[in-house]
Amino acid sequence: MTSKFAVILAAGQGTRMKSKLYKVLHPVCGKAMVEHVLTQIEQIKMDEIVTVIGHGAELVKERLVNRTDYAYQEEQLGTGHAVLQAEKLLKNKDGLTLIVCGDTPLFTAQTFTELFAYHEQKGAAATVLTAEAPNPFGYGRIVRNNLGIVEKIVEQKDASETEKKISEVNTGVYCFNNRDLFSALHLIKNDNVQGEYYLTDVMEILKKSGKVVAAYKMKNFDESMGVNDRIALAKANKLMRQRINEEHMRNGVTLVDPQTTYIDIDVKIGKDTVIEPGVVLKGETIIGEDCFIGAHSEICDTQIASNVKVTASFLEDAIMEKGSNIGPYSHLRPAAHVGENVHIGNFVEIKKAEIGKNTKVGHLTYVGDATLGEEINVGCGTVFVNYDGINKHHTNVGDYSFIGSGSNLIAPLNIADHAYVAAGSTITNNVDSHDMAIARGRQVNKKGYFDRYPVAKAAEISQKNTNKK
């Protein structure tokens, strides 16, 4: 088997992005552009993958960790100079080298495989992957002679008027005979408009030295798009989103309106789940089968089992077990664990809390730092008072207990199973099993008070004002 190597170019700042974040780290559907590239390359068996880093090197490394080796490009002197930095790791090796830019997030492993096959079939020293661009502005152009054979690649800024009319562009992906690549790289010069060492010049150098240089034209231009500014970034996101959404629909997920459904690349969704418009599913979210995710819900890094219903709610870093439901307008914060068949109603916030099977938290309630058992009813407007201004404290509520509406449960607190808290209570002491706790002022009714101050007084003033008019 021929050895295969890959080089990812990711050292540029990305000036045209006008961003503090290095270009290749800008996310497309939840994953940095350069990570998309690496993930696709990993689908092919490679003997070595080298990523050339420079601007934001540490941050790129943090993202790609040990999935690749690294070559450091101190000064960004051009794409040719960038590849040369990988020489220490790759030179004197026999095999084929795939080069991909870190700012082309839509390429698929399938296309890379086709490029390798074409390259080998042509017996070429270098094969550039090209595409027919509807608007070629900004891309390097493929100059072919009258026999259709590739002569060279000219950059936009160096192109003559005739060359600018060429619509076949360089996608920035190449396959090289590894030894030919590194010997030619030493010959490139920077005598061009940008004063850079262009990788693209290697094609002409190899051609002139009598080697076979080929071009493989891919059918789908969209897949090759390079992201240089925020307009292209939005477009890449849209194309990736479409690809992701179609994949889910093919797998049996209903997206009521795919145009307005935003699903990150690593999200997993089970069959027969229905996703309504305006839903955003982010990060490592996993959703089971037969779920309903209602309009305008946002779910991030959350695990949802099957038969779960989420209505217009915001979930982050949480878990919902099967048959549970939430919303509208509720919020699961990190480490909220909603048990089987639990009902969480509207305007409820849950943070770092376990809610046992069949328990109901219906309305306007805050549950933080708590463990709730099974079959509990938490009344409307209950507050788990977990914070004393310095520390957070825990509350336990046992199975089958009943928490009356408008209660404040001041942690640390243990409410046993089969216990009862009367509505409107502020509970500071533990409650034992089968007991009821009631902690509120007793009601006093004042006879005839309505006719006295201040209601009567207000009526008097309003009467005076009417008389004045």
What residue numbers does the annotated binding site for Mg(2+) cover? 103, 228
Binding mask 191-210 for ligand UD1 (x = CB under 6 A): -------xxx----------
The backbone torsions φ and ψ at residue 222, rounded to the nearest 5 degrees and listed phi first, read: -50, -40
Q: Does 181 bind ligand UD1 (CB under 6 A)?
A: no
Question: Looking up tokens 């295969």, which residue turns up?
Answer: 4
Closer residue to ligand UD1, CB minimum distance, 5 or 366: 5
Whole-number CA gyration radius for the chain: 32
- Single out the catalytic residue among 55, 343, 363, 394: 363
Q: Does 256 bind ligand UD1 (CB under 6 A)?
A: no
Question: Looking up tokens 């190899």, which residue turns up?
Answer: 206
Q: Which run of H or E residues covers position 206?
A: helix 201-208
Torsional sign, CA 21, 22, 23, 28: negative
Q: Which of residues 207-226 bind Ca ion (CB under 5 A)?
A: 226
Q: Which of residues 85-104 bind Ca ion (CB under 5 A)?
A: 103
371 binds, among Ca ion, ligand UD1, none (CB under 5 to 8 A by kind): none
Q: Does 11 bind ligand UD1 (CB under 6 A)?
A: yes
Q: Residue 329: helix, strand or coil by DSSP?
A: coil
Q: Which residues, in sequence order, are CB contacts of 48 under 8 Å at separation 6+?
A: 5, 6, 69, 89, 90, 93
Q: Are 258 and 249 in contact (CB under 8 A)?
A: yes
What residue numbers does the annotated binding site cover? 9-12, 23, 73, 78-79, 103, 140, 155, 170, 228, 333, 351, 366, 377, 386-387, 405, 423, 440
Torsional sign, CA 101, 105, 109, 115: negative
What residue numbers does the annotated binding site for UDP-N-acetyl-alpha-D-glucosamine cover? 9-12, 23, 73, 78-79, 140, 155, 170, 228, 333, 351, 366, 377
Helix, strand, coil shares of the chain as percentages rounded to 5? 25, 30, 45
CB of residue 238 vs ligand UD1: minimum separation in angstroms? 18
363 tagged catalytic: yes
Q: Residue 298: helix, strand or coil by DSSP?
A: strand
The backbone torsions φ and ψ at residue 214, rounded to the nearest 5 degrees and listed phi first, read: -125, 165
Q: Does 78 bind Ca ion (CB under 5 A)?
A: no
Q: Which of residues 151-180 bind ligand UD1 (CB under 6 A)?
A: 153, 155, 169-172
Which of 226, 294, 356, 379 is the binder for ligand UD1 (CB under 6 A)? 226
Helical residues (DSSP H) of 43-107, grouped into ranges: 57-64, 79-84, 87-90
CB of residue 78 vs Ca ion: minimum separation in angstroms? 12
Q: Does 405 bind ligand UD1 (CB under 6 A)?
A: no
Q: Does 308 bind ligand UD1 (CB under 6 A)?
A: no
Catalog residues that contact ligand UD1 under the rule CB under 6 A. Answer: 9-12, 24, 52, 73, 76-79, 81-82, 101-104, 139-140, 153, 155, 169-172, 198-200, 226, 228
Active site residues: 363
